[in-house]
């Protein structure tokens, strides 16, 4: 039987009646994603470290939109605890329709400064937690016969290297390929798995790096064709496409939201003559 065609294009993005789990929801992209999903009608399960500063503010914004917001404190680096954590979330929130693997961490270190502890922590949060959360959530989706959506937030660093971020680059590349594999294995169950790869976004993670941020940002903006960092809310549209019926036939896909950085192999524009309109 052919599914009914929505009466309006915007109906394809309607998430009313669905529950979304967003990790790293206390701030930055996680908060923007949670609020955007709530604006589209979804109820939220907001996950971050226990006592994370900002998580209550995210919940308040979701609830102000008339949606439910359940706050869950969980250290995602504790891999062994994740199946039980997901089971508890499912028991309380009901069927889970959307998982946004947004939580991530990074450290600015030259390759020969990286310790086993640093490497392991980044891999556990950025790769292991993504997989084992997705694994357990997908199990519940199949049991509940939910045509779910798994969305993993990677980075342009999944596609191109950046000095000082060996472990971060490797973790995001791994998350990309594991998501593509999930897409293949989960397709028979109607579950899609995709990635959203942001470029430089105005979020706190960069501010934690020990360097001259002002000089770095000025130089990087010259590298971005659109000339600026993204605001977190500017990544929400891509997320809603992947989370909703509008993206029902997208799986194993990657959406890059980077202001054109990866499209420009050489920043030649600054060396070219000024633009002249020919009209």
| Active site positions, annotated | 168
Helix H segments across the chain? 28-39, 55-64, 82-93, 116-123, 129-143, 166-186, 204-207, 213-223, 236-243
Write out the two tokens for 20. 């979304």
- 260 contacts 226 by C-beta, under 8 angstroms: yes
Identify the residue whose tokens are 């006592």. Answer: 51
Class of residue 102 by CB neighbours under 10 A (exposed 0-12, middle 13-18, buried 19+):
buried
Q: Please work out, in degrees rounded to the nearest 5, the angle formed at the alpha carbon of residue 256 by the alpha carbons of 99 and 97.
A: 15
Contacts 24+ apart (CB under 8 A), 68-71: 68/43, 68/44, 69/34, 69/38, 69/43, 69/44, 70/43, 70/44, 70/45, 70/46, 71/46
- 25 contacts 47 by C-beta, under 8 angstroms: yes
């Amino acid at each position: 039987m052919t599914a009914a065609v929505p009466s309006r294009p915007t109906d394809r993005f309607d998430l009313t009646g669905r529950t979304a789990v967003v990790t790293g929801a206390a701030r930055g992209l996680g908060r923007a994603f949670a609020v955007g999903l709530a604006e589209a009608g979804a109820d939220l399960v907001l996950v971050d470290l226990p006592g994370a500063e900002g998580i209550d503010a995210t919940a308040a914004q979701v609830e102000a939109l008339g949606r439910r917001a359940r706050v869950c404190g969980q250290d995602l680096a504790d891999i062994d605890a994740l199946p039980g954590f997901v089971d508890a979330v499912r028991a309380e929130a009901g069927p889970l329709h959307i998982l946004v693997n947004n939580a991530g961490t990074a450290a600015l270190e030259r390759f020969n400064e990286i310790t086993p502890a640093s490497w392991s922590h980044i891999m556990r949060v950025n790769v292991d937690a993504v997989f084992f959360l997705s694994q357990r959530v997908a199990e519940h989706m199949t049991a509940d016969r939910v045509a779910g959506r798994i969305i993993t937030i990677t980075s342009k660093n999944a596609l191109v290297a950046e000095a000082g971020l060996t472990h971060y680059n490797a973790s995001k590349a791994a998350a990309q390929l594991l998501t593509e594999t999930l897409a293949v294995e989960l397709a028979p169950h109607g579950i899609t798995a995709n990635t959203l790869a942001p470029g430089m976004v105005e979020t706190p993670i960069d501010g934690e790096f020990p360097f001259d941020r002002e000089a770095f940002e000025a130089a990087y903006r010259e590298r971005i064709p659109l000339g600026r960092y993204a605001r977190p809310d500017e990544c929400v549209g891509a997320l809603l496409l992947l989370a909703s019926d509008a993206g029902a036939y997208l799986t194993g896909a990657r959406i890059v939201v980077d202001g054109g950085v990866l499209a420009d192999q050489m920043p030649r524009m600054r060396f070219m003559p000024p633009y002249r309109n020919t009209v």
